Amino acid sequence: MLNILLVTFPFFALVLAGFLAAHRRMLPLEAIPGLNGFVLFFALPCMLYRFGSTTPIAQLLDASVAGVYLLCALVMVAFAIVMTMNSRIRWNDAAMGALVAAFPNTGFMGVPLLAALLGPQSAGPVIVLIVVDMVITSSLCIALSRLDEGEGHGGQAMLVAGRKALRGVVVNPMPWAIMLGGVASALQFTLPGPVEKTVWLLADAASPVALFTIGAVLARSQIQSSHPMPTSDYLPVAIMKLLLHPLLVLAVGTAAIQLGVPLTPFALTVMVLVSALPSASNVSLLAERFGADNGRIARIILVTTAAAFLTFSGAVALMT
């Protein structure tokens, strides 16, 4: 366990550094969008391209990994909505809460952390899971969040929101980086030397800047969402994310292997550890954009990120 903590500590320490820098205003809050932009549009796409281009194409097209993980994501979304909807938390807030219960912080945290723990061979399953979450899970939850709109027009609002969500995927550079990396892997294409070195340098910058940015985003959310809130509004969802989600993936994946699904034990380990990651920090931006209670979402992300240092390390100890 100590060896695992020695690996995970620097990653969570960078998150804490970003949190303290923003909370104490050593990093101006106005600078956080710039950090986000660098990670989202430059460093992280280069990292995903590098992993995709150096991973066998068969691992990037693993339908068993995608199918098992998607089934678990749909169960998590449905369970979170059923368990949290009440007279105050309606479709918009419940759907965004379901998204943080089912959407791990795979891009900013999971890719570098799992590569450090399990080696570069973990990149294939991780990339598959990123695609499932970005394209299907997030689009579904955004569409469900629109069911509150207009009496009798919830279905139409849901379709409109679903189309907007898919357009958001199209303009997101991460799926394109994954696709281009997969094409490069299939064609065994390599970039020209100077270009490849530039891309690799940006890829190397992704991990520290992304983790620092997560902390800064969490601090900004806490500063801007300081209204009181009962713990029952956010703590159960945080528990679902950190405990229920990985246990569900482990149970469904184990059952799938016993039923003959071609899912390797290593891929299942990667899936469980991805599910044990804290909630994706970008859901806070989605909640703000679609008018949900961003204070509630920010608290869930903050609790899962803080607690994951122990819960994620425990999951690694059990699975490896």
pLDDT tens for each residue of 189-202: 999 999 999 999 99
- The structure tokens 């290593």 sit at 266
CA angle 108, 285, 303 (to 5 degrees): 65
- The amino acid present at 186, given as its one-letter code, is A
3-state DSSP assignment of residue 249: helix
Distance of CA 139 to the CA centre of its chain: 14
Examine the pLDDT at 152 and tell me if it is beyond 50. no
Highest mean pLDDT among 59-68, 104-113, 146-155, 169-178: 59-68
- CA pair distance 320, 270, nearest whole angstrom: 10
Structure tokens at 185: 């892997």
Confidence of residue 57 (pLDDT cuts 50, 70, 90): confident
pLDDT at 284 exceeding the cut of 90 = no
Q: In percent, how much of the chain has pLDDT > 90? A: 60
Examine the pLDDT at 111 and tell me if it is beyond 90: no
Q: What is the pLDDT of residues 22-48, one digit of tens each?
A: 999 999 999 998 998 898 899 989 998
Residue 151 pLDDT exceeds 70: no
Rounded Cα distance between 158 and 146, Å, is 5
**105 pLDDT more than 60:** yes
**Given a cut of 70, is residue 162 above it in pLDDT?**
no
Residue 87 has pLDDT above 70, yes or no: yes
Residue 149: predicted pLDDT: 64
Alpha-carbon gap, residue 277 to 245, rounded angstroms: 10
Can you give the residue range of the structural domain that contains 177? 2-319
Largest CA distance in the chain: 60
Residue 40 pLDDT: 85
Residues of the chain with pLDDT > 70: what percent? 92
Average confidence score pLDDT of the chain:
89
Overall average pLDDT of the 286-298 stretch: 84
The H or E element containing residue 11 is helix 2-23
From 40-49, 91-100, 146-155, 208-217, the region with the lowest mean pLDDT:
146-155
pLDDT at residue 160, rounded to an integer = 67
pLDDT in tens, 240-267: 999 999 999 999 999 999 999 999 999 9
Residues 6 or more apart whose Cβ sits within 8 Å of residue 238:
279, 300, 303, 304, 307
Task: Give the whole-angstrom CA distance, residue 53 versus residue 25.
Answer: 39
- Provide the CATH number for the domain around residue 144: 1.20.1530.20
Which of 10-14, 50-54, 107-111 comes out lowest in average pLDDT? 107-111
The CB density around residue 87, as the number of other CB atoms within 10 Å, is 5
| Cα–Cα distance, 213 to 221 (Å, whole number) | 12
State the pLDDT at residue 287: 84
Contact between 91 and 148 (Cβ < 8 Å):
yes
pTM: 0.87
Indicate the burial class of 232 (C-beta count within 10 angstroms; 0-12, 13-18, 19 or more): exposed
Give the separation between CA 80 and CA 266, rounded to whole angstroms: 28
| Mean pLDDT on 55-75 | 93
Residues in the chain, total: 320
Using the predicted structure, report yes or no on whether residue 183 has a pLDDT greater than 70.
Answer: yes
Q: Which residue has the tokens 């965004």?
A: 96
Of 185 and 139, the structure prediction assigns the larger pLDDT to: 185
Q: Of 71 and 40, which is predicted with more confidence?
A: 71
* Structural contact between residues 143 and 156, judged by C-beta atoms closer than 8 angstroms: no
Query: Where does residue 291 fall: left (phi above 0), alpha (psi -120 to 50 degrees), or beta otherwise?
Result: left
The whole-number pLDDT of residue 69 equals 97
**What is the model's pLDDT at position 139?**
85
The domain total for the chain is 1
Question: Looking at the predicted structure, is the pLDDT value of residue 203 above 60?
Answer: yes
> Looking at residues 110-128, what average pLDDT do you find?
90
